[in-house]
Structure formats: structure tokens, C-alpha cells
Structure 1
Amino acid sequence: MEYVEHAPPQDLRRHLQCLWELQDDAPGDGVHAIYPDGHCELLAELGVPLRFHGPDGEVRADQALCFAAQQRGPIRLQAAGPVHCIGIRLAPACSALVAGAALPRLRDHAPDLRTLDPAFAADFHAAAQASAASRSPEPLWQLMRGRCGTFVPDALVERAVARLDERAGDLRIGTLATQLAISLRTLQARFLAAVGMTPKEYARVRRLQALLRTLDDGIAGIAEAAAAHGYTDQAHATHDLAHWTGITPARLVRALRSDRGGDEALRLATAFIRGQHTLELRAEGASPVAAG
């Protein structure tokens, strides 16, 4: 299995966080989870579409082209054959780049990209194929230049996102509104329209990601890490970890530390948490996944 991330060129960094590519010609059949990170993504599955395991127990085929909107829980996917996924992770304040005004309604969904913008979906598919064939992200960068060039992010929301990121989510939303000199209601409405989740939800996701990275570093225990990231106590952090990841904190810590990369169900979740720009994981039974 191979996973690699590419940072966007300078002229696209306001709109995009990264482009990633994931390949596995012989995946296993395990169900894998990916955790929310506060970003929406454009996804092209050039291999066999993955199976999506819904929280309602339904199992269905994923879309070959989809828009992964904001998620408030883990996404569970399973390989059904050779996997080759390419994803573009959007900057939070640019989450409406393709979805537009429909973005808030898409929370916890990953609709077919063709239902949002058929012409762009076709161009995105062609550019993804060209990038895969040339082993270069440039065809996709070129496509996104055209799209981003006509999209102006909400500068106030960009500032709000930056402050929440700087504090790793450990900031009260009322305090954030005061710092930005706007009403709480205005902040909530504009943030939801631009990011696709409320500022409180985004703050919780960013704090979760910071907690996961601290636990992955292997230095602090759950109680110490919880205190470092503004949780009132270990029980609060444990509840958030279980809610957002779908597994017990003890199992998560074991996978991150004592058996790094050895827990198949957590292997790709760990890869996305670490966000390494070049990462190759090769292990029998591993299965790649992607989510927003």
C-alpha cells in the first residue's frame, strides 16, 4: 500500500490544503475508519469503488467521484478490489468551492460529485486520470487554478479558522466572536455557510486531532494529553475520543504506540493523523481508505 501527500503550489495555498494519492493493488477485506479533520475533500476513485459502512448498518458502494463533506463521526470503508484514490483536501473556509450554498445540508454525507456540478466532475475525473498517468499532481493543480480563481473565501471565516487552529480548538466560541468584533449569531451563520459545520463542531474536531497527535507522539498519557488540550478531565477526553473515532481510547493508544501500524483497522487512520508527505505502508491485509 502506498500513501503520499503533496502540498499545493503557492498560488493555491489559500484554497487547498493538499492533494493525496492512495494505492493498493491487493488490499485485504478489513473495515477501516478515518476520523474527522475539519476538511472537505474532492475524491476520485480510479480503482474499484470502496464499500461504505453506514452508521445504520447499511453497506453500499461508494461513488467513483464524490464530495466528502464535513463529518461528525468516523467514516468506515472497505476495499472491494484494487484501490486507487486521489483526493484534494480543501482549506476549511473554502469548503463551498464546489458545493456552494448546499454545503451545510451535506454535513455527514458524501454525495456524488456529479450531482453538485456535472461539468466540473467530468473535468476533475479527467485531471485525476492524467495525474495518475503522469505521476504528477500538476494536471489537478491546473484544474483547480481555474476553479479557485473565481472563488473568494470569506475573510472573516478564514480569520476564525486560523484562531481556532492556532489554539488547536481550545477556544470558547463566544470569546472568538468577541475577538473578531462580531455577534455570536453572525459568526455561527457565516462559519456554517463557509466551512460546512458550526464553529463549535470545528473546534472539537481540531482539539481531537491535536489530542490524537499528542497521543501518537508517545510522550503523554491520556490524562496528561487531555489537560494539555483543554479538556476538563480525562473522562471528557475519553468520551470525545470514543465519539469521534468509534473505538476505545485504550485500543487507540495501543495501536499508536505499542503496535504502530499493526492494527489494520487503524492503519490508515494513523496515516492521515500523521499527515506525512511521503508514507509507504506495506502489510498483508492492509486496506486503504479516504474521507473528508
Structure 2
Amino acid sequence: MFYKEYPPHPALARHVACVWAARAPGGGPAHRVLPDNCVDMLWQDDGQAGFAVGMMSSAILVASARPLWTLAVRFKPGMAGLFLALPMQEITDQRADIDLLWERGEAERLTDALWTGDAPVRARLALIERALLRRLRDGGDDGASTGLAQRAIAALEGSGGEVRVAVLAAQLGVSRQHLAAQFRQHVGLSPKLFARICRFRKATAAIKAAPAPDWAQLALACGYFDQSHLIHDFQEFCGSAPERFHFSNPTVA
């Protein structure tokens, strides 16, 4: 399977983690995509409308019966709502067609342009970036509305998911309830679940880098209270124990 990420247009860098392209050969085994605390928008050469994939709370399996090209944008946490114009919890663990989120004519024109002709992949991705820049310009970058969520995201990611939500709310000068409501609206998950996925992703990276990990030490290094909590999160987020994950080859989006 071909997969490549590209840095976004500089004017989108505050909002977009990357744009990416992939080509699945078709007919092969399904690959596993793990929760990554991001929202993606994808367009595929299957004649269907593009779609957004909301924040994920567990792994999904992706398979294609025939060769399939995908062009996509991956938003930074808390930024997709500026382009989709809906509360992000509405699409958590779901997909939503772009022509239902954007004006239908705009969505159809972009889809047609992406799959017409033989332009190189990076040029096609630039069409997506231009569409996002138009929406950012027309809708405005309402940093004030997302400011609290962004400060919380920075603290959670900076601590590797180890800061407690009650402590974080106190540091931000808001109640836990207000923080949770803002976080769900702009991010799509609760702060606690976001933090757990931060720890999980830290653990998956550590496992890939360690040929023979000491599981108890790895759990502590990644912010888990003990090994059993590490095992619980692996079962919930990827459907396997850490030891099985260590010997598999999952795709982490």
C-alpha cells in the first residue's frame, strides 16, 4: 500500500497537520487504523462524495475490494470545526458526507476536479488546500471560540495525557463541566478520553521502538498507573493486548 504525507500550505499550517495520499491495492487484508485524536476529510476515486471521519474512540478496519486512491487532509486537534461548521461531537466515531456539510455545488466541483485529468498527486492535494483556504477566508478564523479548547489540548499533549482534568480545569480558571462541554464541541471527545488516547499513542510509539519491552516499566513511562491500565487501554483502543500489538503491523493514522 502506498501512503505519503505532505506538509500543508503555510496559511493552513496552524489548522492542518498534513495532507496525504494513499493507494490501496484492493483485495488484500484489511488494515487497522487506530485512534489518533485527529479528524480527517477524504476523497476517493470511487465515484462517491468525499467524507469527514470524526474523532475515533476505537480502532477501525479498512478494506477495499479494488484498487483505490485516497486524497485527504488531516486536521490538528480542535481545528476541523472551523471548516465543517458543526459541533464535533456530532460526528465522533462516524463519517459524514462532504456534500451534507458543505454547499452541494462546491463539494461536487471539488470532487470532479480531483479526479479529472492526470495531474500529479501533489497538485490534486493543492485543490483541497485551496478549497480549505476559501472556507477559512469566508468563515473567518474564530480563535476566540476555540481558545479554551486549544489551551487544554496543548496542556494535555504537552503532558503526554498525564495532567488530570480537574487540575487542568483549575489551571484554566473554568469548571470541569465547562471545559468538558467546550472540549466536546470543538474537539469531539471528552478531555479525559483525549488524554487516554494521548497516553495510548505514546505507548504504541514506545512499543515500536523497543525490541523487547519491559511492560511494567513501559506502562509507567507512558503515564499509566500500572501494567493492567496499559492492557485495558490497548484492549479498548485497538482490540488486542500490548504483546499482540508488538508483533503485529497496524496502521496508525
Report the TM-score when normalising by structure 1: 0.77
Partner of 2:22: 22
Partner of 1:144: 132
Q: CA RMSD in A?
A: 2.1
Partner of 2:77: 92
Q: Distance in 2 between matches of 1:120 and 1:197?
A: 29
Taking structure 1 as reference, are residues 127 and 164 closer, same or farther at Cα in structure 2, changes over 3 Å only?
farther
* More displaced 10-residue stretch of structure 1: 241-250 or 63-72: 63-72
Partner of 1:122: 108
The one-letter amino acid paired with 1:231 is: Y
Q: CA shift at 1:141, angstroms?
A: 1.9
Matches within 5 A, 1:10-159: 10-24=10-24, 26-46=25-45, 48=46, 64-117=49-102, 118-126=104-112, 128-129=114-115, 133-136=119-122, 137-149=125-137, 150-153=140-143, 154-159=146-151
Partner of 2:222: 229
Partner of 1:170: 162
| Deviations 1:178-235 (CA, angstroms, capped at 9, x unpaired) | 1111221111111111011111111111111111111111164332221011111101
Asked if structure 2 preserves the Cα contact closer than 8 Å seen for 1:215 and 1:222, the reply is no
Q: Distance in 2 between matches of 1:205 and 1:104?
A: 16
Asked if structure 2 preserves the Cα contact closer than 8 Å seen for 1:131 and 1:138, the reply is no
Partner of 1:290: none
Aligned with residue 246 of structure 2, among 249, 253, 260? 253
Asked if structure 1 preserves the Cα contact closer than 8 Å seen for 2:87 and 2:188, the reply is no
Q: CA shift at 1:173, angstroms?
A: 0.7
Q: Distance in 2 between matches of 1:122 and 1:232?
A: 49
The one-letter amino acid paired with 1:138 is: A
Q: Distance in 2 between matches of 1:76 and 1:9?
A: 30
Size of the alignment, in residue pairs? Answer: 245
Asked if structure 1 preserves the Cα contact closer than 8 Å seen for 2:51 and 2:96, the reply is yes
Is 2:192 the counterpart of 1:200?
yes
The one-letter amino acid paired with 1:125 is: T
Report the TM-score when normalising by structure 2: 0.88
Name which structure has the greater RCO, CA cutoff 8 Å, separation 6+. Answer: 1
Q: Distance in 2 between matches of 1:123 and 1:90?
A: 22
Q: Which runs of 5+ in 1 are unaligned?
A: 50-62, 256-262, 273-292
Q: Distance in 2 between matches of 1:131 and 1:182?
A: 52
Q: CA shift at 1:135, angstroms?
A: 2.5
